[in-house]
């Protein structure tokens, strides 16, 4: 099995505050890796290193190595635009732009790629089909993306991200703001998408982690306490803290 991402001895700082300690984690290609742990343990911080989005804030810094396809993306000469195209990110709350459904998906394509109108239309359709929402929206592509339901909005945002053809999808609690039925639809979608993408998902929902992920990493106080196959972590964890968290004894 290929390793797509390898975090090696990562430390992370918000100004003087150290939030991550010596994080090492391998992420397998075309698998879903769940990142779990109690609030404030560093899950989002860890994810934000993979596309160097933290650099938008001048006082945040990472130390260590973060290999993607074997290349250390923390080095100075990395093309951040290329990196962020390769590593797409989906957030907790669906964030459609205040524009039509079509333009929500077409916008980043127009911005970053030199494509003809026809190619853009094709890519928009491909992305909307890819998130299983095409049939629901094909007759109202000119309507506002904001008029969709929460679950549909989140699928639209995933379509927008995959239209740019990334290789990695980072998802920070992508279903925490939507209802249980829409959540199950997104979970089905992720199982389909992993054939094409490597997916890393932060979740507070243990059932969700158990249902959809192949691998799991358990974070606690900025450290990765345990990682490995989800089956093993959930049925036979090595660390007592992992077991306590998974069985709901703290959170």
Ligand X SMILES: Nc1ncnc2c1ncn2[C@@H]1O[C@H](COP(=O)(O)OP(=O)(O)OP(=O)(O)O)[C@@H](O)[C@H]1O
Residue in the structure block whose two tokens are 């639209």: 156
How many amino acids of this chain bind ligand X (CB under 6 A)? Answer: 11
Each residue 2-31 as x (binds ligand X by CB under 6 A) or -, in order, gives ------------x--x-x------------
Q: How far is the CB of 174 from ligand X (least distance, A)?
A: 13
Q: How far is the CB of 180 from ligand X (least distance, A)?
A: 20
Residue 42 binds ligand X (CB under 6 A): yes
Residue 55 binds ligand X (CB under 6 A): no
Identify which of residues 41 and 169 has a Cβ nearer to ligand X in the complex: 41
Residue 40 binds ligand X (CB under 6 A): yes
Q: Among the candidate windows 36-44, 79-87, 125-133, 153-161, which touches ligand X by CB under 6 A?
A: 36-44
- C-beta of residue 158 within 8 angstroms of C-beta of residue 164: no
Q: Among the candidate windows 41-49, 75-83, 126-134, 144-152, which touches ligand X by CB under 6 A?
A: 41-49
Segments in 33-179 forming alpha helices (H): 43-47, 80-86, 101-112, 117-130, 134-137, 150-163
Burial of 12 (0-12, 13-18, 19+ CB in 10 A): buried
Residue 160 binds ligand X (CB under 6 A): no
Q: Among the candidate windows 3-11, 38-46, 97-105, 143-151, which touches ligand X by CB under 6 A?
A: 38-46
Identify which of residues 89 and 109 has a Cβ nearer to ligand X in the complex: 89
What span, in angstroms and rounded, lies between the C-alpha atoms of 227 and 229?
A: 7
Q: How far is the CB of 92 from ligand X (least distance, A)?
A: 8
Query: Which H or E run includes 182?
Result: helix 180-193
Q: How far is the CB of 23 from ligand X (least distance, A)?
A: 11
What span, in angstroms and rounded, lies between the C-alpha atoms of 138 and 151?
A: 17
State the DSSP code for 143.
S
Residues 6 or more apart in contact with residue 224 via CB below 8 angstroms: 23, 24, 25, 217, 218
Q: Choose, by CB under 6 A, the member of 6, 44, 176, 205 that binds ligand X.
A: 44
Q: How far is the CB of 213 from ligand X (least distance, A)?
A: 16
Q: How far is the CB of 40 from ligand X (least distance, A)?
A: 4
How are strands ordered across the β-sheet holding 198-202? 87-90, 168-172, 198-202, 32-36, 215-220, 223-229
Q: Choose, by CB under 6 A, the member of 23, 33, 45, 152 that binds ligand X.
A: 45
Classify strands 60-68 and 71-72 as parallel, antiparallel or unpaired. antiparallel
Residues in touch with ligand X (CB under 6 A): 14, 17, 19, 37, 39-45
């Amino acid at each position: 099995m290929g390793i797509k991402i390898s975090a090696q001895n990562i430390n992370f700082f918000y100004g003087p505050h150290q939030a991550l300690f010596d994080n090492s984690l391998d992420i397998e290609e075309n698998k879903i890796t769940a990142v779990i742990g109690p609030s404030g343990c560093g899950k989002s911080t860890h994810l934000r290193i993979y596309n160097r989005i933290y650099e938008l804030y001048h006082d945040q810094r990472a130390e260590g190595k973060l290999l993607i396809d074997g290349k250390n993306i923390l080095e100075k000469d990395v093309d951040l635009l290329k990196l962020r195209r390769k590593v797409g990110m989906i957030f907790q709350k669906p964030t459609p732009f205040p524009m039509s459904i079509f333009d929500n998906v077409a916008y980043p394509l127009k911005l970053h790629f030199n494509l003809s109108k026809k190619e853009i239309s094709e890519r928009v359709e491909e992305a909307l089909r890819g998130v299983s929402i095409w049939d629901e929206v094909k007759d109202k592509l000119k309507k506002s993306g904001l008029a969709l339901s929460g679950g549909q909005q989140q699928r639209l945002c995933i379509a927008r991200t995959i239209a740019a053809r990334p290789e990695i999808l980072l998802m920070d609690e992508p279903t925490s703001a939507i209802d249980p039925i829409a959540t199950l639809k997104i979970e089905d979608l992720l199982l389909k998408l992993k054939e094409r993408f490597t997916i890393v998902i932060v979740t507070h929902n243990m059932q969700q982690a158990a249902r959809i992920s192949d691998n799991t990493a358990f974070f606690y106080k900025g450290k990765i306490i345990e990682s490995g196959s989800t089956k093993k972590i959930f049925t036979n964890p090595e660390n007592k803290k992992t077991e306590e968290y998974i069985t709901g004894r703290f959170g």
